[in-house]
């Protein structure tokens, strides 16, 4: 347990004062002549501001009733606080550093001054050469945005800091790795011939992980820090580190130089040279404030760039209206269980086209990209989310991030829009999508939907059996001879919500998909009736009745109803083939379900 403490008072415009306080002693701190510890050069300190007492292995600070301004400890306003081992308190505008004194520890290698800068203290610091600093700072946003690589960004940033802190001899970008070791990511010296820059690892750790604020150390002239844990370049006798608060490992800006350069640079602005080593260090406070402004600008601009990149990445998933809502509440992206409608849309004819275009695969890739764009545009135009592109297929869904009670209707409209776009392409000679077709499966049910990944690399997806069912329904379109197949949950809602001018539905049958234990009622979504060979509403009614007769085992009746449909309607082939293949007689164990032999 320490029995004595070294306490250093650093006022903004006065000479720092260092005292060693022993256990059992008590002091009054203020500007008054009768105070035990008198602070000059700080008008924010009251005549009697606080009481300091050393006891029980620590130092207690207590604000007195007559004090005008508060005490600050660890960034918060306090009436009392206690420091054990080491810490910082701000009294008015004066920074008070407390460190336990260890008997027998030599003064060599002990800094003249150590400051962990409180934001309230830095607000009172005035810039030197503000015009030059603003000019330098104005280039920072373009510097960040224009850097093509992280290495280029670090090089530009360190060069800018050397320009903004003209008496600094070296600047480095540093970080603390996961194992606690410090790493120098990049460094620059004002004179390249002066050799490498080695940073004080203790100072970096103190700034980035322990204090999490700008931290300054000043050593006696000619001494400098010693040992591997300190800066080992002898010409540096001051250094500070400023954190840049971003996600990931702590990193920051390290600035170092010689005090004689600081004093010389300030001589033109001062009538008297600062007397002591500690007093001279106050000339660095404006540099620390400038570096903090650089760090905050870097953090803000990089955060904005990350948000822009994130917005760009999300643009492929969401419609603009949804993006605007997400901007107000990004928490909507978090994964959650919800009711969704899922669409799986596959491109038909790709293998044939790949074989025909093997001498020009880039042209084929362009056409496939155009096909996926049609799918994506239709999904987003109808309020859906594009979850993924799987080769030549697209996965979209509705019901997240916002609840959509009419999700089945929206999905059916999107499916019809895709069908119509590819039909127009087939009727347009020379169109890039002329020889492509699509199969679309739509299913509704519970699933987990949401964002996975990092802040920079986001993937939006949906999980659950309903996703697998939509894929199986897409596969069934080949066997059922229809472009769009939906499950019963989708059809029930769509029948009541989808207007006749938007689309129509008919039941195709009851099937057991390959690998499934249960049966699924499958329906087709058709476009509205406009004539020109479209199935009439009466014919759709006949088809629904034929399916009912087929399921109930009245196959002759089913054939009669199917005979009323035009031969061009391929969907009837599915039922006719089953009936004829069984000699028009249902099996003895007939349950109305057709087991599909393949996916």
> Dihedral sign, CA of 543, 548, 551, 552?
negative
- Grouping H, G, I as helix, E, B as strand and the rest as coil, residue 199 is coil
Under the banding of pLDDT at 50, 70 and 90, the label for residue 41 is confident
3-state secondary structure of 426: helix
CA pair distance 411, 461, nearest whole angstrom: 16
User: How many other CB atoms sit within 10 Å of the CB of residue 343?
Assistant: 32
* pLDDT above 90: residue 387: no
- How far, CA to CA in Å, does 93 sit from each of 60, 214, 240, 452? 19, 17, 20, 47
Mean pLDDT of the region 573-596:
92
What pLDDT sits at residue 111?
Answer: 58
Q: Is 1 exposed, middle or buried (0-12, 13-18, 19+ CB in 10 A)?
A: exposed
pLDDT of residue 156: 87
For CA atoms 567, 570, 576, 580, the dihedral sign is positive
312: pLDDT confidence band, cut at 50, 70 and 90?
A: low
Better pLDDT: 553 or 458: 553
Residues 6+ apart with CB under 8 A from 56: 1
- Look at 234 and 143; give whichever has higher pLDDT: 143
Query: Hey, how many other C-beta atoms are within 10 angstroms of the C-beta on 188?
Result: 20
Least confident interval from 200-209, 213-222, 461-470, 533-542: 213-222
Mean pLDDT over residues 182-211, rounded? Answer: 84
Continuous H helices in 268-406: 277-281, 285-315, 320-328, 350-356, 361-381
The overall average pLDDT reported for the chain is 82
Mean pLDDT on 492-499: 92
Give the C-alpha separation, 336 to 334, whole Å: 7
User: Cβ of 243: how many Cβ atoms within 10 Å?
Assistant: 24
Find the range with the poorest average confidence among 263-267, 331-335, 357-361, 460-464: 263-267
85 pLDDT band (50/70/90 cuts)?
confident
DSSP 8-state class, residue 52 = E
Domains, the chain, in order of start with CATH, read 4-105 (2.60.200.20), 130-308 (3.30.450.40), 320-466 (3.30.70.1230), 498-599 (no CATH)
User: Measured over all CA atoms, what is the biggest interatomic distance in the chain, rounded to whole angstroms?
Assistant: 117
Do 438 and 347 meet the contact criterion of CB atoms below 8 Å apart? yes
d(Cα 545, Cα 563) in Å, to the nearest integer?
A: 12
Q: Quick check: 227 pLDDT over 50?
A: no
Task: Give the burial class of 588: count Cβ atoms within 10 A of its Cβ; 0-12 exposed, 13-18 middle, 19 or more buried.
Answer: exposed
Of 73-77, 233-237, 566-570, which has the strongest mean pLDDT?
566-570
Per-residue confidence (pLDDT) for residue 406, from 0 to 100: 94
pLDDT higher than threshold 60 for residue 261? yes
């Amino acid at each position: 347990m320490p029995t004595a403490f070294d306490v250093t008072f650093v006022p903004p415009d006065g000479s720092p004062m260092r005292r060693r306080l022993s256990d059992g002693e008590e002091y009054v701190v203020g500007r008054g002549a009768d105070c035990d510890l008198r602070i000059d050069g700080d008008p924010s300190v009251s005549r009697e501001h606080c009481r300091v007492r050393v006891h029980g292995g620590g130092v207690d600070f207590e604000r007195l009733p007559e004090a005008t301004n508060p005490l600050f400890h660890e960034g918060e306003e306090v009436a009392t606080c206690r420091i054990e081992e080491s810490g910082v308190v701000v009294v008015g505008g004066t920074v008070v550093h407390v460190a336990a004194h260890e008997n027998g520890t030599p003064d060599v290698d002990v800094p003249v001054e150590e400051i962990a800068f409180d934001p309230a203290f830095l607000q009172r610091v005035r810039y030197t050469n503000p015009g030059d600093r603003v000019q330098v700072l104005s280039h920072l946003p373009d510097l960040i945005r224009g850097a093509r690589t992280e290495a280029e960004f670090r090089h530009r940033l360190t060069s800018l800091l050397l320009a903004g802190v003209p008496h600094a001899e070296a600047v480095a970008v540093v970080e603390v790795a996961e194992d606690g070791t410090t790493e120098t990511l990049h460094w620059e010296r004002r004179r390249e011939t002066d050799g490498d820059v080695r940073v004080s690892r203790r100072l970096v750790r103190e700034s980035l992980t322990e204090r999490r604020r700008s931290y300054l150390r000043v050593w006696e002239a000619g001494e400098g820090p010693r040992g591997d844990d300190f800066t080992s370049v002898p010409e540096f006798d001051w250094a500070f580190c400023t954190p840049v608060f971003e996600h990931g490992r702590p990193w920051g800006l390290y600035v170092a130089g010689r005090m004689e350069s600081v004093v010389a640079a300030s001589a033109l602005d001062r009538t008297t040279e600062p007397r002591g080593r500690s007093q001279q260090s106050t000339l660095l406070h404006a540099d620390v404030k400038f570096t903090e402004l650089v760090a905050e600008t870097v953090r803000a601009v990089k955060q904005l760039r990350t948000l822009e990149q994130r917005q760009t990445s999300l643009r492929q998933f969401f419609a603009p209206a949804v993006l605007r809502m997400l901007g107000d509440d990004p928490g909507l992206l978090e994964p959650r269980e919800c009711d969704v409608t899922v669409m799986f849309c596959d491109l038909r004819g790709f293998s044939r086209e790949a074989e025909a275009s093997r001498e020009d695969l880039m042209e084929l890739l362009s056409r496939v990209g155009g096909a996926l764009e049609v799918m994506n545009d239709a999904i987003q135009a109808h309020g859906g989310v594009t979850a993924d592109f799987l080769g030549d297929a697209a996965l979209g869904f509705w019901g997240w991030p916002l609840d959509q009670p009419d999700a089945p209707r929206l999905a059916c409209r999107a499916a019809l829009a895709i069908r119509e776009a590819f039909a127009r392409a087939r009727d347009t000679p020379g169109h890039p999508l002329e020889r492509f077709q699509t199969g679309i499966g739509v299913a509704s049910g519970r699933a987990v939907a949401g964002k996975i990944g990092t802040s920079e690399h986001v993937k939006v997806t949906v999980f659950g059996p309903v996703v697998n069912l939509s894929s199986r329904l897409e596969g069934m379109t080949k066997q059922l001879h229809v472009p769009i197949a939906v499950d019963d949950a989708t059809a029930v809602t769509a029948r009541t919500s989808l207007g006749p001018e938007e689309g129509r539905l008919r039941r195709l049958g009851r099937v057991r998909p390959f690998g499934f234990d249960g049966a699924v009622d499958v329906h087709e979504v058709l476009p509205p009736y406009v004539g020109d060979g479209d199935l009439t509403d009466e014919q759709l009614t006949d088809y629904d009745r034929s399916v009912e007769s087929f399921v109930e085992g009245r196959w002759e009746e089913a054939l009669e109803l199917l005979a009323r449909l035009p031969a061009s309607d391929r969907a009837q082939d599915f039922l006719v083939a089953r009936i004829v293949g069984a000699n028009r007689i249902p099996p003895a164990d007939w349950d109305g379900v057709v087991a599909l032999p393949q996916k």
